[in-house]
Amino acid sequence: MRLSFEERKAAARWAADATWMEQEKYLDDPEYMECVRDLIDHPAVRSMEKYIQHGSTTCLAHCIQVSYLSYHICRRFGWNSREAARAGLLHDMFLYDWHTHWRETGERFHGFTHPGKALRNAQQHFVLSPEESDIILRHMWPLTPVPPRTGAGFAVVYADKLCSLTETALQVRSWFAWNFLLRKA
Ligand SMILES: [Fe+2]
Ligand SMILES: [Fe+2]
């Protein structure tokens, strides 16, 4: 997968634009919505809104962004954009607050175990193709050792890393602004 420098810059700029999610601009893309229509309003998917992923970004917002970016990467490379859109939307449906999970349960390896939990939760509510299951299960590669089998899987790996980094960078930026600029003003 080789996005040009300009494409990578545009993707990073898009991921950092909070208004895209706030204004639900994905609703204006009928071809994307066609891929995820049966998933996106399902109560199990909407329940990801209760949990924070990074900074102030909810798991639901994170999953929609990963889904939408993966979908467009796949269209660009001729890969299966429908599978990327669907699996991207479900890839972090682990349904707990990972910031406090280890204190409440003693489980310390969220990074390694949550893809399996997300897959089991998704399979409780939806019928997934083998490729969609593989994308969810392998999305943490290379932290988990087995890479995804398909181009769509690599698109989700890339989109997930980019969105997570952007969410963390925005969190650090607002922390810095609050502590060093605004509080001292
Ligand atoms: Fe994840
Ligand atoms: Fe993720």
Give the position of tokens 């890339």: 158
Q: How far is the CA of 179 from the centre of ligand 2 (A)?
A: 28
What is residue 148's predicted lDDT score, i.e. its pLDDT?
98
Total domains, the chain: 1
Give me the amino acid identity at 148: P
Where in the sequence is the domain holding 176, given as residue range(s)? 5-182
Q: How far is the CA of 135 from the centre of ligand 1 (A)?
A: 11
DSSP 107-138: ---HHHHHHHHHHHHHHHHS---HHHHHHHHT
Mean pLDDT in consecutive groups of 10 residues from the start of the chain, 185 residues: 85 84 91 97 97 90 97 97 98 94 87 97 97 98 96 97 87 66 59
What is residue 126's predicted lDDT score, i.e. its pLDDT?
97
- Asked, as a colleague might, if the bond just before 148 is cis with ω within 30 of 0, I would say no
What is residue 41's predicted lDDT score, i.e. its pLDDT?
95
What is residue 176's predicted lDDT score, i.e. its pLDDT?
64
Q: How far is the CA of 163 from the centre of ligand 1 (A)?
A: 11
Q: What is the CATH number of the domain that holds 33?
A: 1.10.3210.10
What is residue 177's predicted lDDT score, i.e. its pLDDT?
64
pTM: predicted TM-score of the whole model, two decimal places = 0.90
What is residue 173's predicted lDDT score, i.e. its pLDDT?
66
CA distance 97 to 32: 28
Residues with CB under 5 A from ligand 2 (ion): 92, 160
Residues with CB under 5 A from ligand 1 (ion): 92
Closest-CA residue to 68 (of 45, 88, 93, 51): 88
Residue 102 tokens, joined: 């280890």
